[in-house]
Amino acid sequence: MTEDSAPASAPLSLAAQMMISLAALALLSTLVVGLPAIWLVRNQLESQARAQLQQGMQASQALYAVQLKELAGLATLTAERPSLAALLRQAQNAPRSADDDLLTYLDTLRDGADLDLIAVCDEASAPLAQVDDAAGAAQLPPLCTLAAGATVLVTQPSGVLPQVWLVAAQPLASGADAVAGMVVTARWLDLAHTQEMRSQTGLEHTLLVGDLPVVSSLVEDAEASLSGNTSGQPGRSRISWHGQPFYTDRFTLATQHDGTTTTVEGALDVTRLVAAEQRLLRLLLASMALATVLGLGLAVALARRISSPLADLARAAAAMRSGNLSSPIAFDASVREVALLGESLEVTRADLQRSLAELRQEKALTDHFLANVSHEFRTPLTAVAASVELLIDQAAELSPAELQELLTTLHLGVLNLHKLVDNLLESANIEAGRFRARPRPANLGEIIANAAATMQPLLDRHGQRLVVELPAAIPVVMADPRRIVQVLVNLLSNASNAQRGLAASQITISALLEADGQTVRVLVADQGPGIPLEQRAALLQGRRFAGTGSDAPGGFGLGLSVVKAIVEGHGGRWGIDDRAGGGAVAWFTLPRAVSQGLEIPGQQHQGPSGPGGT
């Protein structure tokens, strides 16, 4: 046998492939995973620490910006205080008596705003008053010459460390009686400030002027401690202070006119991080060794556990393919993936079974619908054709009464065809999602009158009386008049069909205001045989036919889906109840147009004892 004609080798089973793969993976993990995993863990931990440091530095920059903005806002609020302006005017008129009051007032403001200094200057940039509680305030340069706005000042007195201040200046409020000048507010960035920054950012906080540390949250004497106990490069690096590892980073807070920079250095203590790194590495090495041993042992058991239920599912899928959709699919739910696959197959089987049942039902309903539509069209078309043929052949021989009879028959046939076409068109619009109702304030009495006028010839033809009972004041409703007339015509036609052949039968249209005062209920009652309870659910869902053949309730057909869509498009409800004494009552609701406050005088009119009363 040649190589080309040799049969293809059978694929390995899932169990064999899993055992070979897991065994190879366990062996390779011992050689390959170890060193890269150690490097990845260390790199990840360091990246997390760097990210935490960067977030802390970003938070620090944002806090300094907020502090400068807050300081400028405090200066503006102080400068605009009417009470400050009044004290300054008193100080101009009576300097000696008002100075103490001004200083007391400024000191109260300073304490309330948590400031270290408030100063007031006149329009000649000379100080009028100043209050402070910072030891270094005397080292500040003249503040009255500052430009309006917030800035960072650095004092460099001889013999001591420089001091860093946040300062804001704002001109006094202007006006007819205002005193010209400026208000200066300041905060000293001292040890308490760096400790507060540490509590807010999670980083040790150090301020440097040039490369000289002037204050730090690590120690009280920044210059004496930091300069002699750190190792590593300044800036973004890893340093050691008193044997503790830190990651550090810097950003420039301000640059003075002489080029001296004020720098903020943040330091993240990574002692716990280094210890955690060592513990994780030891745990990783131990886990790798244990996984190598256990992997080989679990490979066989896991492969068998998965492959067996998969084989069962494959047999169930083959049964579905052969057409067996009635038997539920049994599967092992102990393995999540297998359970998900089994659930998906079971859902698919149930959906297919339900879809087939619905298709069969829809086919039966469609066949019945087409048959009934054909019948509904055939009856008026036959009557119209017969009347037209009789007119063509014998028009000259017919008496006026016979002509009137033929014309009435033609009119009724056209009305029936018009109603059927309207319902078919509305049904198509509903199915296509193009149906729209446009409610507006409408006269319910006029709507009922239009529907009654449309149906009166048909009722007269069948000897049926129409009675309209409306309240004394007919509430205005929110309705699309053309649509609601169509609803009433359909319900009247159904009622007429339901009691056709009954002697002295009557149809009643009535309306009443429901208990909530916001809804009007319109009722159409007939004296037919009524509708069985078991068939009402299908009718209320808008099904065109509740059943097939002789079990369909008389008179209820194509228009019900149109009725349902129109009423629900108006935000209303509809239903079918039993009529006392026999028959059915079809009703629907419409919202009352309360906002217009309109009511129309009503009527209660009953036709004569003979047919056709309205």
Residue-wise pLDDT tens digits, 194-211: 999 999 998 999 999 888
Predicted pLDDT of residue 605? 43
More confident residue, 309 or 89: 89
Least confident of 52-61, 86-95, 227-236, 569-578: 227-236
Whether residue 259 is found in the same domain as residue 405: no
Alpha-carbon distance of 53 to 202, in angstroms, equals 9
Predicted pLDDT of residue 355? 83
**In angstroms, what CA-CA distances link 509 with 330, 374, 571, 614?**
58, 30, 21, 10
Kindly tell me if the per-residue pLDDT of 449 is higher than 50: yes
Residue pLDDT, tens place only, 327-364: 787 766 666 777 777 788 888 888 888 888 878 777 76
Mean per-residue pLDDT over the chain, rounded? 78
Give pTM, 2 decimals.
0.44
Q: Which of 151, 169, 188 is the last residue of a domain?
A: 188
Predicted pLDDT of residue 610? 36
The DSSP code sequence of 107-169 is HHHHHHTT-SEEEEEETTS-EEEEEE--TTGGGSPPSTTPPSEEEEEEE--TTS--EEEEEEE
Predicted pLDDT of residue 374? 65
Residue pLDDT, tens place only, 373-424: 665 666 567 667 766 766 776 667 777 877 777 677 677 667 767 766 776 6
More confident residue, 319 or 590: 590
Whether residue 182 is found in the same domain as residue 204: no
Least confident of 158-162, 181-185, 262-266: 158-162
Whether residue 131 is found in the same domain as residue 184: yes
Whether residue 544 is found in the same domain as residue 584: yes
Least confident of 116-130, 141-155, 558-572, 587-601: 587-601
Predicted pLDDT of residue 296? 67
Kindly tell me if the per-residue pLDDT of 547 is higher than 50: no
Predicted pLDDT of residue 440? 92
Predicted pLDDT of residue 377? 64
More confident residue, 462 or 24: 462
Q: What are phi and psi of 327, to 5 degrees?
A: -90, 125
| CATH number assigned to the domain comprising residue 392 | 1.10.287.130
Residue 36 in any domain: the answer is: no
Kindly tell me if the per-residue pLDDT of 72 is higher than 80: yes
Residue 574 in any domain: the answer is: yes
Least confident of 6-20, 350-364, 576-590: 6-20
Kindly tell me if the per-residue pLDDT of 242 is higher than 50: yes
| CATH number assigned to the domain comprising residue 127 | 3.30.450.220
Q: What is the mean pLDDT of residues 102-107?
A: 88
Least confident of 110-114, 129-133, 417-421, 575-579: 417-421
Q: What percent of the chain has pLDDT over 90?
A: 19
Q: How many CB atoms lie within 10 A of CB 323?
A: 7
Residue 302 in any domain: the answer is: no
Predicted pLDDT of residue 441? 94
Residue 278 in any domain: the answer is: no
Whether residue 596 is found in the same domain as residue 518: yes
DSSP state, 592?
Answer: B
Residue 49 in any domain: the answer is: no
Q: What is the mean pLDDT of residues 443-466?
A: 88
Contact yes or no for 75/168 (Cβ under 8 A): yes
Q: What is the mean pLDDT of residues 600-605?
A: 48
Q: Which of 228, 252, 269 is the last residue of a domain?
A: 269
Predicted pLDDT of residue 416? 67
Whether residue 389 is found in the same domain as residue 509: no
Predicted pLDDT of residue 59? 93
Whether residue 508 is found in the same domain as residue 481: yes
Q: How far apart are the first and last CA of the chain?
A: 100
Binned at pLDDT 50, 70 and 90, residue 555 comes out as very low
Residue pLDDT, tens place only, 507-527: 999 999 998 889 999 999 999
Residue pLDDT, tens place only, 530-544: 888 877 777 776 554
How many structural domains comprise the chain?
4
Residue pLDDT, tens place only, 50-59: 888 899 999 9
Predicted pLDDT of residue 176? 66
Whether residue 124 is found in the same domain as residue 160: yes
Kindly tell me if the per-residue pLDDT of 448 is higher than 80: yes
79-83, 157-161, 333-337, 465-469 — which one is most confidently predicted on average? 465-469
Residue 162 in any domain: the answer is: yes
More confident residue, 430 or 263: 263
What are 124-127's contacts with CB under 8 Å, separation 24+?
125/182
Domain of 239, in residue numbers: 192-269
Predicted pLDDT of residue 13? 66
Alpha-carbon distance of 245 to 232, in angstroms, equals 10
Q: How many CB atoms lie within 10 A of CB 137?
A: 19
Residue 19 in any domain: the answer is: no
**In angstroms, what CA-CA distances link 518 with 144, 477, 524, 572, 576?**
73, 9, 20, 11, 21
DSSP state, 30?
Answer: I
Provide the angle, in degrees to the nearest 10, between the axes of the packed helices 271-321 and 336-394. 50
Kindly tell me if the per-residue pLDDT of 17 is higher than 80: no
Whether residue 572 is found in the same domain as residue 469: yes
| CATH number assigned to the domain comprising residue 461 | 3.30.565.10
Predicted pLDDT of residue 508? 94
Residue 351 in any domain: the answer is: yes
Whether residue 457 is found in the same domain as residue 596: yes
CA count, 13 A, side-chain hemisphere, 391: 15
Q: What is the mean pLDDT of residues 431-458?
A: 84
Place of tokens 């808008």: 542
Helices (H), 395-480: 400-432, 444-461
Give the angle 57-62-66 at the CA atoms, nearest 5°.
145
The DSSP code sequence of 178-206 is PPPEEEEEEEE--HHHHHHHHHHHSSEEE
Residue pLDDT, tens place only, 126-171: 888 889 887 777 778 888 888 888 888 888 776 678 889 999 999 9
Whether residue 443 is found in the same domain as residue 419: no
Q: Which of 188, 213, 247 is the last residue of a domain?
A: 188
Predicted pLDDT of residue 404? 73
Alpha-carbon distance of 44 to 126, in angstroms, equals 59
Predicted pLDDT of residue 438? 87
Predicted pLDDT of residue 607? 41
Whether residue 500 is found in the same domain as residue 568: yes
